[in-house]
Amino acid sequence: MFVKILLQAAALLPFLTSTTSAQTACNNSPSLCSRAYNNMTHLGAHDSPFLRDKSTSFSTSGNQYYNSTVQLEAGVRLLSAQVHKNSSASGSDKWRLCHSTCDLLDAGSLTNWLKEIKTWMDADANKNEVVTVLIVNSDDASAADIGAQFAASGIDSHAYTPPSATVPKTWPTLQTLINNGTRLMTFVASLSETSSQYPYLMDEFTYIFESDYENESPSNYTCTPNRPTGLTTSSTGGRMFLMNHFLYSTALFGIQQPNSTYVNVTNAETGLGSLGTQLDNCTGVYGRAPQFVLVDFFNVGPAIASVDQANGVSSATGRKNVTTAQPDENATANNNSAAAGRRGASVVAVVVAVVVAVAFGL
């Protein structure tokens, strides 16, 4: 009888081990729990809420094929967005997620986007996930302006507050952030001044440096600091490294738009200008992998494969698979005349934005 009980218990061991591994995984891997926040590479979705899908009639200004929730489910852990001021609106609608201008592509209010992220973070399956938000402060919002939107969404309850306004010698581990209920890291580019009322809003360039973000050729990527100015590869002040890795193409009137034609190589592990190759290049320069990488169309490649390689993650848990295929935009547009009409309206909006910019010398 005793032997029978032992055999039954032994039969359960694989299931117990599997359950424990799933429960202790941080950012989709048990191996990342004990790592400091700055001792890993976080995959980032560049311009996360700006979509190139049916909802935008496949706007050529869109940077992602899938929304922020899908991005998070698939392993993205850094979400970036441009924030602009709508002077004619009030309250939470005043601060909008717009691509360059709100006439070009308006993805809704900052508050609603933060609510979407919070909803994902609050789900039981995601309680061990640390998420980073990078706000591009296009219209010089104050810390109070941005902080009010975080408070309105309720996501500030997850926010991490740094111990000081200088680069720390060490960052917390993912497990520490999870245990402390501070799973949201928030950076703003840039803040003219910080606020004691919203101490979790970290000025990006105090803590992070970036490589150049305007690339139109796959041979032009660099690991050299571009922002903030005055840094070199040998002197970065202890900042974390955000590697921009996306391509632009030039359209009508010299307007730059995300390059979706070459993205299958841009986000791949190998090839000219590939994500995997550039990660290796920059790791060689700094002696460690970049802490963040920003990509367009994250699912193509897929970009997560190169990030897993950089992190030494071989078997991620809790991720949802997203197709790496690009949508057939032309077929969809041809079968939907209304969509074609809206696409034309988008082009008009682009032209208007350019004319205004030229008129005002922007």
Domain boundaries in the chain? 32-315+322-327
In this prediction, residue 344 carries a pLDDT of: 44
**CATH number 3.20.20.190 is the correct assignment for the domain at 32-315+322-327:** yes
Q: Which of 36-45, 57-66, 97-106 has the lowest mean pLDDT?
A: 97-106
- 93 conformational bin, left if phi > 0, alpha if psi -120 to 50, beta if neither: alpha
Average pLDDT estimate for 227-238: 96
Write out the E strands in the chain: 42-45, 78-85, 95-98, 106-109, 131-137, 184-189, 201-203, 208-210, 240-244, 248-250, 256-258, 292-295
pTM of this structure: 0.86
Dihedral pair phi/psi, residue 70, rounded to 5°:
-65, -40
Question: Using one digit for the tens of pLDDT, what is the confidence trace for 157-198?
Answer: 999 999 999 999 999 999 999 999 999 999 999 998 888 999
Count of all residues that appear for the chain in the document: 362
- Is the pLDDT assigned to residue 13 strictly greater than 50? no
* Structure-model confidence comparison of residues 251 and 150, the more confident one: 150
- 152 conformational bin, left if phi > 0, alpha if psi -120 to 50, beta if neither: alpha
Q: Which of 21-30, 56-65, 69-78, 256-265 has the lowest mean pLDDT?
A: 21-30
Average pLDDT estimate for 223-250: 97
Report, as residue numbers or ranges, the catalytic residues.
Answer: 46, 99
Q: Do the beta carbons of residue 78 and residue 46 sit within 8 Å?
A: no
